[in-house]
Amino acid sequence: MARLLLFAGAAVAALLSLAPASAQPTPLKIDASRSWKHDPTGTRLPVTLAGLTRTEVAEYTANGAEVAAQYRDTAGATWVTVFIYRNVSGNVPLWFDRARYLLRESGRYGKPEAGGITPVTPKGHANPSGLMESFAATGQFRSTGVAMFPVKDFYAKVRASSTALGREQLATLMAQVLAEFDGPKDRDSPAVTPIADCAAALPTREPAKLAKASEEDRMMAGLLGGILGQAAAKKEDKKDKGPPLAFCREPVASRIEYGIYRHVGADNRYMLATYDNGRAIFVGPDELGALVAQGKKPARFGVTFYSMDRTDTFPQFETLPTPAQAYELVNKGQPISSSGTWGKSSGQVSINTGQ
């Protein structure tokens, strides 16, 4: 049952931002003369957008959990890609932060000069629920940029690059894309602001030790992980949701592979946002397991990976692991349970007892 979670390297393709190697895009067979509807959100991706022509719609994860539409001008000098993928972690400011980090650090655009982050109100939205920034690039490209905003229970990300347009011209083009974006009306998504550094860094600590676990412990952890996975798959009515959780950025150097974020005020848990594709690793106290154990077993710290269509639970640590430990465990280790959260696999839980 072991699965190796592989991720793309640091190179960024001209049209597509980084995505897991295990989810290479599959072009969809669609009518090139008609708009294409993304059924989960009701978003329509037209034949032309901001004067650019749609060249392809591709799917990264089955059943519409993650798609991308590419647009370009007739000269092949300007590209726009619209990504739509499930919201399984984080929020708009967090994933916008990751997208702009990879854009600046990938090396493809030289040393991009930022034009400043601006709030944006996409078509159909009542509030400035998105963020956008354009950059003056060096080398092959003159400009590049990114925008993020919510679309129902999904995120939309717009990436643009041009070898002909300057930064301000590209910013105008991206604003036009958002003005023409044909998604559902949204009166509920709140206004957002860029993410900020946490007030203080997590305390320095020694690497954690993996907790010793009996087969009974593994089985219980697997079952509880399945419960967490099903909770992630459950769709709740917006009116029943509380205010969105605020995140801050851990004030240490980020990496291409992941950025470190925390809920504001939390010092015993964190989230690793992997690359810029919505997938994340959550690390923190196993509160559900502690509740079941009723103090009869020592506290443990869990590691859970959320992808577009499943939730994987991994072996636990005795104390809060370092981000490098958590990332290595997910990237190279074997989950003890996996729970489908989307499509035909939704509701299916598999447990690896180590047998």
Report pLDDT for 18: 31
CA 50, CA 123: separation in Å to the nearest integer?
13
CA 181, CA 47: separation in Å to the nearest integer?
12
Q: Which residue matches tokens 């959550």? A: 282
Q: What angle do CA 272, 273, 279 make, to 5 degrees?
A: 115
Give the tokens for residue 206. Answer: 């020694």
Tell me the pLDDT tens digit for each residue of 305-347: 999 999 999 999 999 999 999 999 999 999 988 889 998 888 7
Closest CA to 83 of 143, 134, 151, 35: 151
Closest CA to 247 of 207, 282, 286: 282
Whole-number average pLDDT of the chain = 85
Contact 49, 173 (CB under 8 A): no
Given pLDDT bands bounded at 50, 70 and 90, which one contains residue 289? Answer: low
Q: What is the mean pLDDT of residues 162-182?
A: 98
Output the pTM of the full model. 0.88
Tell me the pLDDT tens digit for each residue of 41-80: 999 999 999 999 999 999 999 999 999 999 999 999 999 9
What is the set of domains in the chain, with CATH numbers?
A: 21-180 (3.40.1000), 215-351 (no CATH)
